[in-house]
């Protein structure tokens, strides 16, 4: 992942020397001067399974491709979203980056690389290390980074996840306990928009919404609630309010706010449901197959979103290839051009 993101940063700087500094100041303004992309502000839409981790989208069917950014988000979040969608553009139009996606074992690789690319543009290493040091950050550390920068909470969440010393997740919840943004290491993160208000850590924080920003809540045993209806294994958790939102660090072990936090044995999973509803087409179906990456049921209509963002069918030969085989995000593969 880090190799992919560094290549993205190098590519942008090679094409436009000095642009990373300009993007850090005002990404939207600078991107609107680029001839190979266009930026469009759009209304924010509800999260869907398999979509971007941010309130935006990348439309490669326009000429030039369009970076769609939700207008209702905060200025910092719009900056992060614009850079995230630029990350999709880079990975879908540069062959070596596209190859990196195809060779990755994790189907969230492309989206995670976009998050990390955006976060690294907005939050330089010196600032991050000054807040986090060389250990897993606490929830208060993340709030401190947010206060010291002009970056969005989401960007701070991504940079915090880079510093996890164990498996875990860093999550941003809204005031009702729904996931606004999340990223993880070694475990599956909660889905954007999913309700986590009944998990132990979030429930404790929601009972005290007036606590000062950065002052932590802790839970020795909390969970992530997945849309399939089951919970993650127990996690150590710490959360803090941050300008109306809740930031949380969830780890399997090595929690920095505890003197001793060993790994715990996994809890047996509950019986898996035999029926499911596709969050893409809305149809109910009998569960006969599950995704090998996320474990979610595969819709028989082919709507496993783990692969849908990595492949495309050529309009001429009707064969399916990885996105890197389609120059400039087009619908005709390199073999047919």
Q: What is the pLDDT along the chain (337 residues), one digit of tens a residue?
A: 889 999 999 999 999 999 999 999 999 999 999 999 999 998 876 554 445 656 788 999 999 999 999 886 688 889 999 999 999 999 999 999 999 998 887 778 999 999 999 999 999 999 999 999 989 999 999 999 999 998 999 999 999 999 999 999 999 999 999 999 999 998 989 988 899 999 999 999 999 999 999 999 999 999 999 987 889 999 999 999 999 999 999 999 999 999 999 987 765 555 556 676 665 566 677 777 766 545 567 777 665 554 444 556 666 665 666 666 666 667 777 667 7
Contact 201, 248 (CB under 8 A): yes
Domain that holds residue 321: 275-329
- The number of domains in the chain is 3
How far apart (Å, rounded) are the C-alpha atoms in residues 283 and 281?
6
The verdict on residue 124 lying in a domain is no
Tokens of 215: 């002052």
Whether 121 maps to a domain, the answer reads: no
Look-up of token digits 């980056």: 97
Residue 108 lies in a domain: yes
Same structural domain for residues 184 and 107?
Answer: no
Which CATH number covers residue 45? 1.10.10
Q: Output the six-digit token pair for 208.
A: 């005290």
Question: Would residue 215 count as lying in a domain?
Answer: yes
Which pLDDT score is estimated for 55? Answer: 72
Residue 336 included in any domain? no
Residues 108 and 17 in one domain: yes
Q: What pLDDT does residue 282 have?
A: 61
Query: How far apart, in whole angstroms, are the C-alpha atoms of residue 326 and residue 319?
Result: 12
Residue 337 lies in a domain: no
Long-range contacts of 307-313 (CB under 8 A, 24+ apart): 307/107, 308/50, 309/50, 309/110, 309/111, 310/101, 310/102, 310/107, 310/110
Asked if residue 10 is part of any domain, the answer here is yes
Note whether 85 and 144 are same-domain residues. no
Clarify whether residues 111 and 33 are in a common domain.
yes
Closest CA to 4 of 110, 80, 93, 122: 110
Domain boundary among 251, 283, 312: 251
Q: Same domain for 283 and 239?
A: no
Q: Are residues 76 and 33 in the same domain?
A: yes
Instruction: Say which CATH number the domain at 168 has.
Output: 3.30.450.130
User: DSSP 3-state assignment of 151?
Assistant: coil
pLDDT at residue 308, rounded to an integer: 44
- Are residues 134 and 243 located together in one domain of the fold? yes
User: What pLDDT score does 54 carry?
Assistant: 66
Spatial contact of 8 and 119, defined as CB atoms under 8 Å apart: no
Same structural domain for residues 110 and 137? no
| Within a domain: 178 | yes
Query: What letter does residue 134 receive in the DSSP assignment?
Result: T
77 and 172: one domain? no
Those residues with Cβ within 8 angstroms of residue 160's Cβ, 6 or more apart along the chain or in another chain? 132, 137, 141, 142, 145, 170, 249
How far does Cα 129 stand from its chain's mean position? Answer: 21
Task: Judge if 111 and 143 occupy the same domain.
Answer: no
**Prediction pTM value:** 0.74
The verdict on 50 and 107 lying in the same domain is yes
Q: 66 vs 36, 37, 104, 328, CA distance in Å?
A: 9, 6, 25, 12
CB burial of residue 46 (10 Å; 0-12, 13-18, 19+): exposed
pLDDT at 236: 97
Last residue of one domain, picked from the residues 217, 251, 285: 251
Structure confidence at residue 323 (pLDDT) = 62
Q: Vertex 198, ends 213 and 51: CA angle to 5°? A: 85
What is the full DSSP assignment across 17-35?
Answer: TTHHHHHHHHHHHHHTT-T
Give CA–CA dist 233/223, Å, rounded.
6
CA distances from 81 to 15, 24, 300 (A): 21, 13, 32
Q: Is the bond leading into 64 cis (omega within 30 degrees of zero)? A: yes
Same-domain status, 109 and 133: no
Give the model's pLDDT for residue 151.
93
Residue at which a domain ends, from 116, 144, 172: 116
Beta bridge partners of 218: 238
């Amino acid at each position: 992942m880090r190799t992919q993101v560094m290549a993205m940063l190098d590519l942008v700087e090679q094409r436009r020397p000095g642009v990373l500094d300009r993007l850090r100041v005002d990404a939207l303004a600078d991107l609107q001067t680029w001839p190979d992309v266009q930026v469009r502000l759009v209304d924010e839409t509800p999260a869907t399974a398999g979509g971007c981790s941010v309130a935006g989208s990348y439309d490669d069917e326009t000429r030039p491709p369009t970076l769609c950014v939700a207008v209702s988000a905060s200025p910092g979040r719009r900056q992060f979203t614009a850079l995230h969608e630029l990350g999709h553009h880079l990975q879908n139009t540069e062959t070596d980056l596209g190859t990196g996606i195809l060779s990755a074992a994790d189907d969230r690789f492309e989206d995670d690389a976009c998050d990390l690319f955006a976060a690294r543009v907005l939050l330089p290493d010196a600032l991050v290390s000054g807040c986090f040091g060389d250990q897993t950050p606490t929830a208060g550390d993340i709030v401190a980074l947010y206060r010291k920068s002009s970056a969005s909470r989401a960007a701070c969440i991504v940079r915090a996840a880079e510093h996890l010393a164990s498996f875990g997740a860093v999550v941003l919840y809204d005031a009702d306990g729904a996931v606004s943004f999340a990223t993880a290491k070694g475990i599956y993160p909660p889905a954007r928009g999913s309700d986590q208000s009944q998990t132990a850590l979030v429930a404790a924080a929601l009972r005290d919404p007036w606590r000062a920003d950065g002052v932590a809540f802790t839970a020795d045993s909390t969970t992530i609630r997945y849309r399939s209806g089951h919970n993650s294994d127990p996690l150590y958790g710490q959360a803090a309010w941050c300008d109306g939102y809740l930031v949380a660090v969830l780890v399997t072990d090595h929690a920095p706010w505890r003197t001793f936090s060993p790994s715990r044995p996994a809890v047996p999973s509950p019986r898996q449901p035999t029926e499911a509803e596709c969050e893409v087409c809305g149809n109910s179906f009998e569960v006969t197959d599950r995704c090998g990456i996320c474990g979610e049921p595969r819709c028989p209509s082919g709507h496993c979103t783990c692969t849908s963002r990595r492949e495309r069918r050529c309009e001429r030969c009707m064969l399916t290839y990885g996105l890197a085989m389609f120059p400039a995000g087009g619908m005709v593969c390199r073999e047919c051009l």
